[in-house]
Chain A
């Protein structure tokens, strides 16, 4: 008491104490509330190329961006992250540091590379477009792109004159093989005589090789329709140049050419929206694979070229309806190009196999070395 009264500026002391008594709880309450209210979700995207490059990179970026805007989520992007040289794990660590609670690994080999790291971040939900690696917090996601390839194949089968269709493909992995097989099955559906000739470039992005291969497919194999499974559109440009028909992939090309038959498209925004919604609902880590397809409108063909006849369009539409109604492309008797029976008459190839284990090409597909 004596001490208190000895303090000369008692009034200041009182003021200070009152200030603390009033202001501290207010700050505390505001801080506390903000912590609850303003914990904005952050999602990370790691992708191979420049997000401004049309094709795979831009389509994914736009898709995820639209989905994030829809849910009011902050998107963190790490692009031009090359595979297998340690850039991907670095990018994952960086995103984790920046508070990303979900990370999309939007290139095929990322998950293999970051396998260990994924397990070290159990609180982060990872999603990738390959099914090579499994982890509790890793969901393989993809769209049933092969359904669109099947329809594109059916169109190509109807359109080809030379009965040779060229296919520029990156790598012989499950994803690419699945696409080639679905395409070939589509071709065979409308034109059992036609064959698909495949050339491997070895890279997702390699303009020179792609161009060279496309030219060879036209000149050597005699293909009058080209399609491709690459991140960029070089093949389309070569086809255009040589005046052959082509079916583009993952982008609507800025072209009015009659040879530009259609594009195989994917609604990535829809897809990412679906994924993020599942993540927000807390379902992400309970699902091993997540595939959506044509029945949800996730894959489609773009508007057809004027060179495509209404009859052809009607055929494609009817096939599409079959798929929507539940027809399975990989069912019934299927032989590979080595003559092995891959699927029996009353069987269907399971999703698991389609995702992980297609190391063969169907009968009617040739590989040009």
Chain B
């Protein structure tokens, strides 16, 4: 992963762990500090709960009281209705329920007893309230619990009926046993004295009540009872943790109090709390983990976003590059087209060996340039994925022949041997992209030649059958060159890679060759193997699977090439054929026209689509070459209009596209648009002729004439000094006339040279210039280019010398130039005259 990017490097992981640890620490700290809070809160809640329970107890007690009072009231009603003392006695005995510890009585208003014991109002302070007509529940320590109701007479109180329960009965009466067995309950007077202890009240319990914290707790409870029905209170004392609780019994002077161990009430709840705490902690850890996970995911997502973005940018840049290269190819190919075409023309038409040599060099340089551009274009196409193989049937021997034909001269130039070994059992009829296969082999062979100084290159062709209709084509290129270091072997297919820069600095190339080759081989499903000993040589073995489409074998491969530069010979002549070439570039038209001059085809040209259409309406053409890219009406549009045009006289004529746009798919596109075929620019004259042979009506095609060898003979005889062709041209191509001129030149020479010499000797520069000018023209008219050129130089010097505007220095320099070169020119003059005479004799 990228170190500077968003990658999850150690720093990030450490950061995440640190954050995670911090969060966990805070959480644990918070949990611990909250624990006390929670316990307090929980205890407070439990206090309330217990208070509520306690108040329920008081309600139960109140209900018991009400029941008791209701019973007494019923008795009172009965007594009101039956004021008979005998009845009263019997009735009251019923109320006693046959229990010795319950007493019943009926008291007069003055306190005297009608029945039963008297009740002292000093014992039961609330008792007098019964005389006011109210129901009374009152408790007196040592006496018991008293219930009293008035016996009425109209709105007035006549007597009071009571029932008194002995203290011993009270625990049962209040049903203490029915409550929580862990709780201890007892009844206190409001002044604090315990009046009814619970059962088994013992020493330990007394100790409990004597504990300061507990006493203090009950004091707080008593204060709180002033404004609360019931109170629960948590206390942590030496004797343990307890909940204390109390409630005032309604309508009495009694308080019900009690206590219960903390664990009996809160134990389970605290277990729940602990459980929650544990669960919560787990949840928090989980949350933290999820957060960390999200963080990581986010970082990754950011990273992949960045990568995507980078890839997109790179793709865009790459596309821009490809587009740029494709455009460049078009832009550069056009001028190269012109250069190559012109060179071709020079090579064809020039008789001057120097100029032919220059043109050859120029042509070679142009070819190199073109191949470089092709390399770059191929590379860009492969890179942008636009590259497609054009597979078709081909003959292997033709490919090999052309390769050998190309490589042999190059090897010969460097004094290298070039041997070809072809396995005769190799199938000849194959299906594949022959152009690219040729390119692959050529690349490797070129490299071999390029990097070999001494020795030679061996080119082997073999095959190995894969299946009935498929074979592995094997090219072996072995050289005795500089070799490749073992560690460099894997890198040789890298883009723009060049090795031993210092050593190979004089070897030109883009460094793309092997990269493209490798890609092409891969594209075809093949592979390249390299074996090399540094300093001794390398062997490249290319294996490419190809389909076999015929049984023909390659047989014994014969090398029939010659290294001599051949004079151009047209494949055919077609004097009756008429074709139209459409291109917006005049130079291209000139090139096309001149290249085809030898074929004797009548060539018409059109500078635009519009002119083309016009011409199509005027006459019939056998074939049309149409440039694809033209201003306003391009080739495709022109074609469309032409095919729809009614007065098109050449509707049946094949239309061949000329295009510099070499992007793959162009061919399909153009044929799809209605073109018969296409020809890539710069125009290869051989391909163009083949195209013409293929598409021109066969009856118009004639074999090439033998007569063209005649001027060759002339040139062979005179090529070193007189340009016969040029001379003939000046003679309108008529040898007789040329002969006459030659003779004239040689005859007049003595006279003219004398005049020239006189002017020179007299330093009569004005006349000298006139004579030299005449020499220049006459020499040229017979093809004496060298002499003419020398005369021209002298003429120039003379002109400057005689010009009024020239400075003294210029005059001096030019005078000196004439002095220096006059003699040499005169010698050239002599020689030309001599040659002219000889040539005239030859022609004669």
Contacts and interface: CB of A to CB of B under 8 A. Distances in A.
B302 A5 contact: yes
Contact of A347 (B55, B153, B229, B301): B153
Interface stretch (B129-137, B591-599, B795-803, B815-823): B129-137
Contact of B298 (A5, A71, A280, A281): A5
Interface stretch (B154-162, B546-554, B557-565, B662-670): B154-162
B13 interface: no
B227 A346 contact: no
Interface size class of A (residues with CB under 8 A): 20 to 34
Contacts of A283: 229, 250
B156 A343 contact: yes
Given A277-B227, A281-B229, A283-B250, A346 B155 contact: no
B157 A281 contact: no
Given A281-B229, A283-B250, A344-B153, A326 B109 contact: no
B298 A350 contact: no
Contacts of A328: 131-132
A22 B516 CA distance: 64
A260 B110 CA distance: 37
Contacts, number: 77
A282 B109 CA distance: 33
A326 B157 CA distance: 14
Contacts of B159: 346
Interface size class of B (residues with CB under 8 A): 20 to 34
B248 interface: yes
Given A277-B227, A350-B156, A326 B128 contact: yes
A10 B305 CA distance: 15
Contacts of A326: 121, 128, 131
Interface string A344-358: 101111111100010
A346 B158 CA distance: 6
B109 A346 contact: yes
B361 interface: no
Interface in B49-75: 55, 62
B133 A281 contact: no
B301 A348 contact: no
B615 interface: no
A348 B131 contact: yes
A350 B149 CA distance: 12
A351 B248 CA distance: 25
Contacts of A1: 294, 297-298, 301
Interface in A141-187: none
A10 B298 contact: yes
B515 interface: no
B156 A286 contact: no
A208 interface: no
A350 B294 contact: no
A351 B227 contact: no
Contacts of A344: 153, 156, 158
Interface string A1-27: 110110000100000000000000000
Contact of B250 (A286, A348, A350, A351): A286
A289 to B, nearest CB: 9
A86 to B, nearest CB: 34
Contacts of B128: 326
A331 interface: yes
B150 interface: yes
B313 interface: no
B226 interface: yes
A211 B110 CA distance: 44
B294 A4 contact: yes
Contacts of A357: 155
Contact of B109 (A5, A10, A348): A348
B328 to A, nearest CB: 40
Interface in A320-345: 326, 328, 331, 343-344
B132 A347 contact: no
Given A1-B297, A4-B298, A357-B155, A351 B133 contact: yes
A280 B225 CA distance: 9
Given A350-B156, A353-B156, A281 B131 contact: no
Contacts of B837: none
A350 B157 contact: yes
Given A10-B298, A326-B121, A346-B110, A353 B131 contact: no
B152 interface: yes
B806 interface: no
Given A281-B228, A357-B155, 14 more contacts: A4-B294, A5-B302, A331-B131, A344-B153, A344-B158, A346-B158, A348-B109, A348-B156, A348-B157, A350-B132, A350-B155, A352-B133, A353-B133, A353-B156
Interface of A: 1-2, 4-5, 10, 71, 277, 280-283, 286, 326, 328, 331, 343-344, 346-353, 357
23 contacts: A2-B301, A4-B294, A5-B302, A10-B298, A277-B227, A281-B228, A281-B229, A282-B55, A286-B62, A286-B250, A331-B131, A343-B156, A344-B153, A344-B156, A344-B158, A346-B108, A346-B159, A347-B153, A347-B156, A347-B158, A349-B156, A351-B134, A352-B155
